[in-house]
Amino acid sequence: MAHSIAVSIIIPVRNSEKYLSSCLFSAVSQDFLLPYEVIIINNGSTDNSREIIDKYAKKYKFVRQIITDGLSVGFARKRGIEEAKGQYICFLDSDDMYKLSFVKKMYETITANNVDIVNCSYVKINPNGRISRNVLARKRSLDCIHGVRSLLRDFNIRGYMPMKMYRADLIKNTKLPISSKLIMFEDFLINFALYSKASKTTTITEPLYFYRRTNESATTNLSSNRTDLHLKCFAAVRFLAEQTGDKAVIDEFFKRGFRYWLSIFADVFLSIKVNERPFFVELHRAEKIKRIILSRKPLPIKGMLWEQLIKEIS
């Protein structure tokens, strides 16, 4: 067999001792009969994470720990991708959990439908313990353009990487737009690069992923430059769309202007407590930058917020 390992699960870890045991238990306890591997990228943890990982690596032969330091989540995942031997690849964040049927159902779906990516729904666990699910999830089979469209709408297919399973050939042969200049929203940028190359994708309505929204998680941290990071990502998505040379993909980007504006408005609102600029000043500034990105004129790069990001992913 070309692939003796069916699936590789990649888990970046950095100081995650609080939830790490439940995360790793969900990965090693999958109801899946084919060989799979768990690759843990221990990225400079200084808490008890290494001891927890060592315990699992000693007990389960299919668990591997790779020690790194100073990598962003994107580069840690990239290291895992380089090490992965599976025919398919999926990701798990160290404070989250898989349903025990995650790998089995995702694998059965991606192979039975002969698609490049499968996306499942999820259950969200909020810091107060409240549980909710993505009610916008739909079961759909999509060609490239409709996959890109659904991703850009960010409702049915969310931009997160861990709720998906990818064909290894696709993810290994795509130049992933990972950058040290984008510490938030990089999942969305990477997924755009992958969905714009995927011939066929599909979605699963059933929630198979438990997403724990902690006060410490990157997605909930308030940051005075959160809006700028989102605008950088927004500009980089346009850059990647235009790099495809596919008019349909480019048109889909420009059609999603209002959806982007909703997200940026939310970021400005979330940053009120830590931003030195008043809300309406920051909103007006974001609106001006958004208009530049959505203009049909050539995207300016030199001297712009996104200059270094685009240089790094080019």
The pLDDT tens digits for 114-165 are: 999 999 999 999 888 888 888 778 899 999 999 999 999 988 899 999 999 9
Pair 226, 270: CB distance under 8 Å: yes
Can you give the residue ranges of every domain in the chain?
Answer: 7-212, 226-313
Burial class of 241 by CB neighbour count within 10 A (0 to 12, 13 to 18, 19+): buried
Q: What residues have CB less than 8 Å from 233, skipping those under 6 apart?
A: 182, 184, 185, 186, 188, 189
What is the pLDDT confidence band of residue 258, given thresholds at 50, 70 and 90? Answer: confident
What number does CATH give the domain 7-212? 3.90.550.10
pTM to 2 decimal places: 0.94
In the Cβ-directed half-sphere of 103, how many Cα atoms lie within 13 Å? 28
Pair 163, 134: CB distance under 8 Å: no
Q: Cα angle at 158 between 157 and 162, to 5 degrees?
A: 110
231 Cα distance to chain centroid: 17
List the one residue out of 179, 211, 272 whose CA is nearest residue 19: 211
Name the token pair of 22. Answer: 């439940």
What is the pLDDT confidence band of residue 248, given thresholds at 50, 70 and 90? Answer: very high
Q: What residues have CB less than 8 Å from 168, skipping those under 6 apart?
A: 3, 8, 84, 86, 87, 88, 89
- Above 70 in pLDDT, residue 219? no
Q: DSSP state, 191?
A: H
Reported residue count of the chain is 314
pLDDT digits (tens, 9 = 90+) for 39-70: 999 999 999 999 999 999 999 999 999 999 98
User: CA–CA separation, 75 vs 307, rounded Å?
Assistant: 20
